[in-house]
Amino acid sequence: MRTAMSQVLLAAAPADALIDVPRHITVSGLAPGARVVLRARTVRGADVQWTAQAVFVADANGTVELTCDAPVEGAYAGVSAMGLIWSQTPADGKSRDVFPVPVTAPLVTTLEAIDPDGHVVASTTFAQRLAAEGVTRRDVRDNGLVGTLYLPPGAGPHPAVLILNGSGGGINEPRAALYASHGYAAFALGYFKAPGLSDYISNTPLEYFETAMQWLRETVKPAHDFVALSGQSRGGELVLLLGATFPDAVSAVIGYVPGAVVHSAQNAADPATGREGPTWLLRGESLPHLWENNRTATWTPFDEGPPPHRHARAILTALDDVDAVARARIRVENIRGPVMLLSAEDDGSWPSSRYSRMVTDTLAEVRHPHAVVHLDFAGAGHAIVFPYVPTTQLVYAHPVSGRISTGGGEPAANAHADERSWVGVLDFLAEAVAAKAAAAR
């Protein structure tokens, strides 16, 4: 928009689109070689303002384009079309809630161009949405299940995705809304720390998820009977485990920063059973886990020293007991569909790169007849989400244990992982659906 103060024009296009769409941000009408500050302000989560700003120098035409121009100083370095978004930090210095409340509402960012004297010479806004027009939301409290179902526009049928959170628990509505916006019937399922459920991950029965997959099939009647599983962290461990335990029910597996073994309850444990107690039950029996009868495991590298702590350091001690690893290993060779793994080389929570290689090595050994895709991101940490969200909050208090930890990585690498992983996931799902449809013909 042009202001009365100047002929400077600040534009962001498209002005209203899904959150995973990069914006073309330009400033024109500047003097050649002029310096200009660009500032982005977004209200996120519980009404907390997140901001970022950077200084740019106009080219010979008096223009700045974020798709090709790097800032000379500021919140991020290098060329990044959405750098003013992923480099945002919260005004309170601690918030981690980056998504809108409710999830169906847009995130609105105000962009301002500021001259060297501190005057705002132009401004504009753009909206990021998780839910496309026509996407519907429904709370689910059926058959003991607790979750939220997002459906794409139109009668369908649509292929389906079941979305599972990690050790923070809850219901991952943002990812479900975005999956639905790309044409998938998306069921975000809570399994602890959600209304009516336990506050802890301990002693969670796998039959609960079997019921969820059955309910999803009966409710949405997915195209080609396609039901994929998408899980993050402990959810990444879980989707591999479910694919191996209920192979006929799982069409494809997407594991974000997954584990390759069954773990104990760890930071999400019920205090009554402790962090070395079991997580998963099958037919009432606990599954063998990594910490069980482990001769080398110790929490000392995680517990000692000043925060933030890196949970991965304790996990690495447990992986030195090869017999315990063998007992706890998820039998991924039983999975009967394509598998995608997204891992981070600087994962502070657990060694997701190593775990993903364990899975791909096993699938290669058995000549897995379906696609196996592994994207491993250098410099990135545990929090791989999707474009374009802030990636600056690396230290956090665990939602259950309260331990001050770091997921690792650094903001630019995490932003790259967010962007590339989501492109990969959408391609993977499209190919998996096409393969399932071809097999059904």
Domain CATH for 79: 2.60.40.2240
Residue 171 sits in the same domain as residue 60: no
Beta bridge partners of 11: 26
Residues near 236 by beta carbon (within 8 Å), at least 6 away in sequence: 166, 255, 256, 257, 258, 259, 341, 352
Rg of the chain over all Cα atoms, to the nearest angstrom: 23
Residue 5, pLDDT > 50, answer no
The β-bridge partners of 344 are 377
Domain assignment present for residue 416? The answer is yes
100 and 44 housed in the same domain: yes
Give the integer Cα–Cα distance in Å for 211 and 52: 44
Counted domains in the chain: 2
| 1 inside domain | no
Residues 210 and 320 placed together within one structural domain of the fold: yes
Do 235 and 260 reside in the same domain of the chain? yes
- 79 and 63: one domain? yes
User: Is 347 among the residues known to form the active site?
Assistant: yes
Instruction: Note whether residue 43 is domain-resident.
Output: yes
| Residue 24 covered by a domain | yes
Indicate the SS3 state at residue 111. strand
Residues 6+ apart with CB under 8 A from 63: 26, 27, 28, 30
Do 387 and 292 belong together in one domain? yes
163 and 264 inside one domain: yes
Q: pLDDT tens for residues 258-316?
A: 999 999 999 999 999 999 999 999 999 999 999 999 999 999 999 999 999 999 999 99
Same domain, 385 and 357: yes
Same domain for 121 and 190?
no
| Domain assignment of residue 66, yes or no | yes
Among residues 182, 368, 382, 416, the one annotated as catalytic is: 382
CATH code at 351?
3.40.50.1820
Residue at 74: amino acid letter: G
Whether the predicted pLDDT of 3 surpasses 70: no
Asked if 209 contacts 146 with a C-beta cutoff of 8 angstroms, the reply is: no
Mean pLDDT of the 172-199 span: 98
Q: Which of 80, 102, 129 delimits the end of a domain?
A: 129
| Percent of the chain at pLDDT exceeding 70 | 99
Domain boundary among 98, 129, 160: 129
Is 212 a member of any domain?
A: yes
pLDDT at 4: 37
When pLDDT is averaged across residues 365-385 and rounded to a whole number, the result is: 98
Asked if the bond preceding 369 is cis, omega within 30° of 0, the reply is no
Q: Report yes or no: 95 and 46 within 8 Å, Cβ to Cβ.
A: yes
pLDDT (0 to 100) of residue 6: 53
pLDDT at position 426 is: 98
Shared domain for 43 and 95, answered yes or no, is yes
Lowest mean pLDDT among 127-131, 132-136, 224-228, 393-397: 393-397
Positive or negative: CA dihedral 387, 421, 97, 159: positive
Dihedral in degrees, nearest 10, Cα atoms 265, 269, 275, 278: -40
Question: Residue 311 catalytic?
Answer: no
3 lies in some domain? no
347, 352, 416, 421: the catalytic one is: 347
Q: How far apart are CA 66 and CA 74, in angstroms?
A: 13
Spatial separation of the C-alpha atoms in residues 331 and 129, rounded to whole Å = 38
Q: Give the pair of three-digit tokens for residue 379.
A: 């410099």
Q: 408: closest CA among 391, 385, 430?
A: 391
Q: Which of 80, 87, 181, 233 is catalytic?
A: 233
pLDDT at 1: 34
Is the pLDDT at 80 greater than 60? The verdict is yes
What per-residue confidence (pLDDT) applies to 291? 97
Domain holding 232, by residue range, is 136-440
Closest CA to 172 of 238, 252, 84: 238
Q: Residue 416 CB: number of other CB atoms within 10 A?
A: 19
Residues 26-63 pLDDT 10s = 999 999 999 999 999 999 998 999 999 999 999 999 99
- Of residues 3 and 207, the one with the higher pLDDT is 207
Average pLDDT of the chain to the nearest whole number? 96
CA atoms within 13 A on the CB side of 255: 36
Domain boundary among 92, 113, 129: 129
Instruction: Please report which residue ranges of 366-410 form alpha helices under DSSP H.
Output: none
CB 278 within 8 A of CB 365: no
Cα(181)–Cα(344) distance, integer angstroms: 26
Largest CA distance in the chain: 73
Q: How many CA atoms lie within 13 A of 194 on its CB side?
A: 24
d(CA 130, CA 256): 19
Digit-coded pLDDT (tens) for 227-259: 999 999 999 999 999 999 999 999 999 999 999
User: What local confidence, expressed as pLDDT, does residue 382 receive?
Assistant: 97
Give 5 or 102, the one with higher predicted confidence.
Answer: 102
Q: Let me know if 132 is exposed, middle or buried by CB neighbors in 10 A (0-12, 13-18, 19+).
A: middle
pLDDT at residue number 441: 78
Q: Are residues 140 and 243 in the same domain?
A: yes
Same domain for 141 and 47: no
Q: How many CB atoms lie within 10 A of CB 16?
A: 14
